[in-house]
Structure 1
Amino acid sequence: MRGIPDPDDARRWIAERRDAVLERLAEVEKRLAEVRTSRADWTDEEHDPEGFTLTFEWQQAEGARAAHQAELDELELAAARVAVGSYGICRSCGLPIPHAQLELRPARTTCVSCAENSPAGRR
C-alpha cells in the first residue's frame, strides 16, 4: 500500500474538485436567480398552478447550493490537511487512504473499509 500522496498531487485533486463544484454552484445560483424572478411574478401560491412548482424548484436549488457549499468547506479543510502533512490518513484507523479514493473524493477523511464499517456512513 502506498503512503500519503505527494502534496502536489493532493493539491491538484483538491483544485480540480473545487473547480467542478464551483461550476455546479454557479449553475445552481443561475437557477436560483431564475426562480426568484419567476416567483416575483406571482403572489398566490395556493391558487397558482406554477406556485408549487416554483417553490419546489427553489427548495431543490437551495438544497443543492448548501451541499455544494458544504463540499467547498470540506475541500478547504482537506487543503489545510495537506499543509500540515496529515492529508490522506484515515481519521479512524490511521492508515493511508488509497490514492485512487482520494483522487475521486479529495476531501475524504476515512478509508473505504472504515467508512463501510462506520454507523455514520461513508465519509
Structure 2
Amino acid sequence: MTTVEKRLIADRDATLELIASLSGDWDGVVRGSAYANVDDEHDPEGATIAYERARIEASLARARENLADIEDALRRLRDGTYGVCERCEKPIGEGRLEARPTARTCITCASA
C-alpha cells in the first residue's frame, strides 16, 4: 500500500466518523425540537433551531462531497490515472497532491 493510498484511506475513515457524528447531531436536534413548543424566531437565547439544522445540513453536505472525492481518488489510484490532470492530461504537481490529495486537475487548469 502506497503512502498516498494510506493517507486517502485515513482521510476516508476520518470523514466517515465526521458524517456519523454530524448525523447524530442532526438526529439530536430533530428529536429535541420534535416536542418542544419553541418560538425559535423570537427566542433571545442564542442560535435558532432552524440555524442549527442548516449548519449541520451544510456540514453534512460538505463531508459527503469530500467522501465522494476521496472515493474517486482511490478509484483513480487503482486504475492508474491518479495524479493525471483530467483536463490537459499532464501530471499534477507533487506539491498540489500533497496539499490536496483528491485533486483532479493540475494547478494551471484549476486556475483557468
Select which of 25, 28, 39 maps to 1:31: 25
Question: Which residue of 2 is the match for residue 108 of structure 1?
Answer: 103
Relative to the length of structure 1, the TM-score reads 0.75
The answer (yes or no) to whether the contact 1:25–1:65 under 8 Å persists in 2 is yes
Identity of aligned residues (%): 29
Task: Name which structure has the greater RCO, CA cutoff 8 Å, separation 6+.
Answer: 1
The answer (yes or no) to whether the contact 2:23–2:60 under 8 Å persists in 1 is yes
Select which of 61, 77, 83 maps to 1:82: 77
The structural deviation recorded for 1:61 is 0.5
Spell out, residue by residue over 1:67-99, the C-alpha distance to the aligned partner (whole angstroms, 9 max, x if none): 111211121111111111000101122121122
Distance 1:83 1:47, change over 3 A: closer
**Paired residue total:** 110
Instruction: Give every structure 1 segment of 4 or more consecutive aligned residues whose post-TM-superposition deviation is greater than 3 Å.
Output: 43-48
Distance 1:77 1:26, change over 3 A: same
Distance 1:56 1:84, change over 3 A: same
The answer (yes or no) to whether the contact 1:17–1:106 under 8 Å persists in 2 is no
* Residues 1-123 of structure 1 mapped to structure 2, 5 A cutoff: 8-43=2-37, 45=39, 49=43, 53-117=48-112
How far apart, CA to CA, are the structure 2 residues paired with 1:56 and 1:40?
15
How far apart, CA to CA, are the structure 2 residues paired with 1:36 and 1:46?
13
The farther-off stretch of 73-82 and 93-102 is 93-102
Letter aligned with residue 78 of structure 1: A
How far apart, CA to CA, are the structure 2 residues paired with 1:103 and 1:20?
17
Relative to the length of structure 2, the TM-score reads 0.81
Question: Which residue of 2 is the match for residue 121 of structure 1?
Answer: none
